[in-house]
């Protein structure tokens, strides 16, 4: 590490004993080189990190006012809404924050899919991201149960019952998850405990994710490697400020929901206290689970549906090997580009199907969309990689900007 020039003697005193300032500078500062061509699609990683911090901050304060007991949870949430100073703000921020956190992460995942960010040498980086995604789903689900309204209760029942599909041990697993014979007070208490724990586990995996990221640096819209210093700019101030612009837009959307449509993404039934003897007429998960819910329901068998839903996430772990293309960025893949568009449409369609009752035409659409989802990854990805002829890829990141001559000169410099 290069020596840091710190003017403040106090900071110099600390840096000599604990080189934390140079560590930060090398991680997200002027000493961290990032590709100079990153677009706004690269904002969503740091935005996800900020969303996580905001969820933890609001969550810790909400936990000070919440009571994790089946008889008191619902009322304690209403008390947060009506009596606690700014309680309404904190709770609406936390609830809508979860939704927008998923939106940001979905954009982040699709950006990775488009630009081939899962390909060599970033396979582990991709896997760690998927682990974070799965942990996020568990955390969001358990958080949704805490208000102990009708949707909370029945979401908990339906999701934990997924495990009962496992042959032989399924029922034992569900009773172990519940701590009883149905979802009840023991279930609420443990979900609260885990809902508090898992975000910090996510923070840990985020550190591993960043560690893997910094090993080979960010991918970029061209999907080609960094060939030298002429291809990079310092993370700070260039991308720190660009990320702040993105944060401003994110907060505009967030407060648009919080102040004007705080319950837009929720369900009115969750303002009815949990009733173990009455299932609401139409139960649907939060929007961010709808595509997976549609896949679950597409298979006309309990175990089959659960397996398909699990497979829809597990298949993402395999794509570093399922994608056989030699180029990373879909920018240079004229055929695959269309299939990427079809995949996005397919996932949105699955989301729409997941929100509809499983009747009539929606059953058929759900099955076809589920089939297409798996065809994309298992058939189209490997075969297009073999048969598609990619467009010519630039030699370096700075070449399209500075011209071929500068590119050749720089390349010569590198070969030295």
Partner 1 sequence: MTAAEHGHGGGMPRRDFLIVATGTVAVVGAAAAVWPLVDSMNPASDTLALASTEVDLGPIAEGQSITVQWRGKPVFIRHRTANEIKEARAIDAATLPDPMRDEARAPNAKWLVLVGVCTHLGCIPLGQKTAEPKGEFGGWFCPCHGSHYDTSGRIRKGPAPANLEVPKYTFLTDTKVRIG
Subset of residues 351 to 380 that bind partner 1, contact rule: CB under 8 A: 357-359
Q: Annotated catalytic residue: which of 26, 214, 217, 302?
A: 214
Q: Among 64, 281, 361, 405, which residue sits at the site for partner 1 (rule: CB under 8 A)?
A: 281
Q: Among 303, 311, 378, 406, which residue sits at the site for partner 1 (rule: CB under 8 A)?
A: 303
> Which of 10-18, 177-185, 347-355, 405-413 is the region at the interface with partner 1 (rule: CB under 8 A)?
177-185
Least distance to partner 1 from the beta carbon of 323, Å?
34
Residues 6+ apart with CB under 8 A from 115: 41, 219, 220, 221, 223, 328, 329, 330, 331
By beta-carbon proximity to partner 1, the closer residue of 89 and 162 is 162
Contact 79, 65 (CB under 8 A): yes
What DSSP letter does each residue of 3-49 carry, written as one string? PP---SHHHHHHHHHS-HHHHHHHHHSTTSEEETT--GGGGHHHHHH
Q: Which helix (H) or strand (E) holds 233?
A: strand 232-234
> Which of 142-150, 255-263, 278-286, 366-374 is the region at the interface with partner 1 (rule: CB under 8 A)?
278-286
Least distance to partner 1 from the beta carbon of 174, Å?
8
Q: Among 8, 39, 215, 278, which residue sits at the site for partner 1 (rule: CB under 8 A)?
A: 278
Site size for partner 1 (CB under 8 A): 35
Give the closest residue to 102 by CA, choosing from 290, 311, 242: 290
Q: Among 13, 86, 120, 176, which residue sits at the site for partner 1 (rule: CB under 8 A)?
A: 176
Does residue 71 have an active-site annotation? no
Q: Among 95, 177, 258, 319, which residue sits at the site for partner 1 (rule: CB under 8 A)?
A: 177
- Provide φ and ψ at 279, rounded to 5°: -85, 135
Contact 230, 410 (CB under 8 A): yes
The 3-state DSSP class for residue 356 equals: coil
Q: Among 118, 141, 154, 192, which residue sits at the site for partner 1 (rule: CB under 8 A)?
A: 154
- Residue 215 near partner 1 by CB under 8 A: no
By beta-carbon proximity to partner 1, the closer residue of 229 and 276 is 276
Q: Among 36, 236, 302, 331, which residue sits at the site for partner 1 (rule: CB under 8 A)?
A: 302
Least distance to partner 1 from the beta carbon of 153, Å?
11
| Residue window 305-344: x/- pattern of binding to partner 1, with contact defined by CB under 8 A | x---------------------------------------
Residues 6+ apart with CB under 8 A from 182: 157, 276
Q: Which helix (H) or strand (E) holds 118?
A: none
Q: Annotated catalytic residue: which of 94, 195, 227, 242?
A: 242
Residue 72 CA neighbour count, 13 Å, CB half: 7
Residues 6+ apart with CB under 8 A from 20: 14
Q: How far is CA 24 from CA 30, 204, 235, 281, in A?
A: 9, 17, 11, 53
Does residue 269 have an active-site annotation? no
The reply to whether omega before 256 is within 30° of 0 (cis) is no
Contact 303, 165 (CB under 8 A): yes
Least distance to partner 1 from the beta carbon of 86, Å?
35
Which residues of the shown chain bind partner 1 in the complex (CB under 8 A)? 154, 157-158, 160-162, 164-165, 175-182, 184, 186, 190, 276-279, 281-283, 297, 300-303, 305, 357-359
Enumerate the active-site residues: 214, 218, 242-243, 286
């Amino acid at each position: 590490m290069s020596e840091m020039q710190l003017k403040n003697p106090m900071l110099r005193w600390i840096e000599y004993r604990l080189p934390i300032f140079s560590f930060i500078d090398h991680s997200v500062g002027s000493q961290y080189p990032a590709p100079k061509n990153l677009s706004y699609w690269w904002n969503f990683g740091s935005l996800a990190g900020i969303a996580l911090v905001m969820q933890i901050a609001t969550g810790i304060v909400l936990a000070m006012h919440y009571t994790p007991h089946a008889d008191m949870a619902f009322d304690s949430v209403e008390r947060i809404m009506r009596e606690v100073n700014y309680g309404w703000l904190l709770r609406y921020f936390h609830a809508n924050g979860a939704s927008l956190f998923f939106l940001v992460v979905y954009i982040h995942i699709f950006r990775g899919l488009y630009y081939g960010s899962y390909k060599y040498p970033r396979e582990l980086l991709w896997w760690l991201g998927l682990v974070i995604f799965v942990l996020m789903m568990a955390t969001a689900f358990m958080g949704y149960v805490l208000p102990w309204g009708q949707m909370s209760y029945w979401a908990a029942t339906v999701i934990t019952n997924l495990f009962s599909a496992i042959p032989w041990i399924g029922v034992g697993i569900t009773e172990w998850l519940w701590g009883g014979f149905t979802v009840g007070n023991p279930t609420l208490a443990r979900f609260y405990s885990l809902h508090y724990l898992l975000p910090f586990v996510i923070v840990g995996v985020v550190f591993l994710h960043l560690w893997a990221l910094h090993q080979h640096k960010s991918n970029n819209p061209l999907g080609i490697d960094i060939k030298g210093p002429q291809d990079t700019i310092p993370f700070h101030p260039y991308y720190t400020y660009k990320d702040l612009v993105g944060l401003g837009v994110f907060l505009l959307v967030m407060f648009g929901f919080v102040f004007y449509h705080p319950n837009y993404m929720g369900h009115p039934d969750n303002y009815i206290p949990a009733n173990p003897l009455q299932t609401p007429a139409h139960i649907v998960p939060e929007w961010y689970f709808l595509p997976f819910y549609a896949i679950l329901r597409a298979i006309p068998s309990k175990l089959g549906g659960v397996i398909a839903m699990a497979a829809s996430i597990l298949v993402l772990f395999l794509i570093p090997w399922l994608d056989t293309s030699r180029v990373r960025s879909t920018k240079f893949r004229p055929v695959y580009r269309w299939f990427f568009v079809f995949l996005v449409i397919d996932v949105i369609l699955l989301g729409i199907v997941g929100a509809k009752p499983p009747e009539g035409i929606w059953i058929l659409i759900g099955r076809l969309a589920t089939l297409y989802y798996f065809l994309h990854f298992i058939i189209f990805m490997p075969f297009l990689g073999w048969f598609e002829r990619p467009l010519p890829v630039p030699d370096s990141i700075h070449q399209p900007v500075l011209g071929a001559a500068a590119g050749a000169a720089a390349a010569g410099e590198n070969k030295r």
